[in-house]
Structure 1
Amino acid sequence: MFRSSQFSRLSLGIAAIGALAITGFVAAPSLAAEDAVVIPAPAMDAPASDGVQTVVLSGGCFWGVQGVFQHTAGVVNAVSGYAGGNKSTAQYDTVSTGTTGHAESVQVKYDPKKISYGKLLQIFFSVAHDPTQLNRQGPDSGTQYRSAIWTSTPEQKKVTDAYIAQLNAAKVYSKPIVTKVGPLEGFYPAEAYHQDYLTLHPNQPYIAYNDLPKVENLKKIFAENYIEKPTLVSGAKLTD
């Protein structure tokens, strides 16, 4: 059974795919990837320290953001969840009201000796979401879909601020970046049915139209960082 926000995502996907069908295009999960913004790498990056590092990224619906980073080499785990609000309100139905302070987010744990923090940011800003959209992302609107980066170290904060300033100065986008940057104060994993959603439901219309193109863009633009087999949270069998 679809909850209210899930129904909205489903109906928007069906409407978009239906529009393509009317114009003569065939709707399928293998839709050609939408245009992504090719951006320069960060001029400043964090050092390749020992041990697994963590950052939490918010960029619209967590299904697509999680899917992108599950196909990124060097990422140890990518978990969908909520950040920005209290533990007591970290449930999907409540977060979907847009009144909790939470944003749909993805906790990314990564090995800095296999992928740098700066490269993760480059992927996030280039293919995972549009950082110029305020309190929305694609068909989804509300503060729960805002663009944000929740850092876990002072070095991450320094690199993130410098990179945003670099991209804005270079006028990479037609509008300024609106991504909020702040320290991570809490992350709460989402319900089990939200985990690995892109991989387990590739034929769901919202996923096919909005999120699979992000993974295709990752494969195309960041080929050296792309892995074909996703790193799943659940370890569940893949389904069609």
Structure 2
Amino acid sequence: MKATFGAGCFWCIENDFRKNGVMSTSVGYMGGHLKNPTYEDVCTDTTGHAEVIQVEYDSSKISYGTLLDIFWRNHDPTTLNRQGPDIGKQYRSTIFFHTLEQEREAQQSKDDLEKSGKYGKKIVTEIVPATEFYKAEDYHQQYYEKCGLV
């Protein structure tokens, strides 16, 4: 199965998803209007794409709910179009759902987190249908591993 999340810079979240029943991860771009965008295109903040991680997972080993927990835990879902020092629509908090069940689970998890009051601010994460995924350039894949940061 596939799951796709935008949580700021894709380098920062990929490593956290590469565990526990996840078969593979790829970082890339989704949600914009430009076909085959490059990193340089997306960094202009004019393509509409978000930096995302696409996860291939075995639902008998890890649930979509667990993936959602990893997503929520690894970024600030209350900042609009930014994560830390990274500013722009490409850094927005987004859940791209691939099935109606994923949409339902994502919305329920967002509602539960909002009701918990954990952040004390409104959660701005969008939950939208997955569109075409454009894999980022090879040097972005498993970036932390390539740089010896894990």
Range of TM-score over shorter length: over 0.9
Task: Give the whole-Å Cα distance in 1 for the aligned partners of 2:114 and 2:98.
Answer: 23
Answering whether residue 13 of structure 2 is matched by residue 65 of structure 1, we say yes
Residues 83-121 of structure 1 show CA distances to partners (whole Å, capped at 9, x for unaligned) of: 011352511101000010101001011111101100110
SS of 1:181's partner is: strand
Q: State the TM-score, normalizing by the size of structure 2.
A: 0.95
Q: Percent sequence identity over matched residues?
A: 45
> Which residue of the partner structure matches residue 115 of structure 2?
169
Task: Give the whole-Å Cα distance in 2 for the aligned partners of 1:149 and 1:82.
Answer: 13
Task: Give the whole-Å Cα distance in 1 for the aligned partners of 2:110 and 2:145.
Answer: 30
Residues 48-83 of structure 1 show CA distances to partners (whole Å, capped at 9, x for unaligned) of: xxxxx111100111001111111x211011101000
SS of 2:106's partner is: helix
Answering whether residue 49 of structure 2 is matched by residue 102 of structure 1, we say yes
> Which residue of the partner structure matches residue 104 of structure 2?
158
> Which residue of the partner structure matches residue 201 of structure 1?
147
Cα distance change, pair 97–87 in 1 and its aligned pair in 2 (3 A): closer
SS of 1:100's partner is: coil
Structure 1 unpaired stretches of 5+: 1-52, 204-211, 213-240
Runs of 4+ in 1 over 4 A off after TM superposition: none
SS of 1:79's partner is: strand
Answering whether residue 70 of structure 2 is matched by residue 130 of structure 1, we say no
Task: Give the whole-Å Cα distance in 1 for the aligned partners of 2:66 and 2:88.
Answer: 28
Which deviates more from structure 2 when the two are superposed, residues 88-97 or residues 113-122? Answer: 88-97
Answering whether residue 3 of structure 2 is matched by residue 55 of structure 1, we say yes
What amino acid sits opposite 2:131 in the alignment? E
Q: State the TM-score, normalizing by the size of structure 1.
A: 0.60
Aligned pairs (5 A) from 1:32-43: none
RMSD of the alignment, in Å? 1.3
Task: Give the whole-Å Cα distance in 2 for the aligned partners of 1:160 and 1:202.
Answer: 33
Q: How many residues align?
A: 150
* Equivalent residues of 1:89, 1:95 under 8 A apart: no
Task: Give the whole-Å Cα distance in 2 for the aligned partners of 1:202 and 1:101.
Answer: 31
Bigger Rg, structure 1 or 2: 1
Shift of the alpha carbon at 1:139?
1.2
Which structure has the highest helix share of the two? 1
> Which residue of the partner structure matches residue 18 of structure 1?
none
* Equivalent residues of 1:84, 1:103 under 8 A apart: yes
Aligned pairs (5 A) from 1:188-227: 188-202=134-148
What amino acid sits opposite 2:105 in the alignment? V
Task: Give the whole-Å Cα distance in 1 for the aligned partners of 2:77 and 2:148.
Answer: 25
Which structure has the highest strand share of the two? 2
> Which residue of the partner structure matches residue 80 of structure 1?
27
Shift of the alpha carbon at 1:177?
1.1
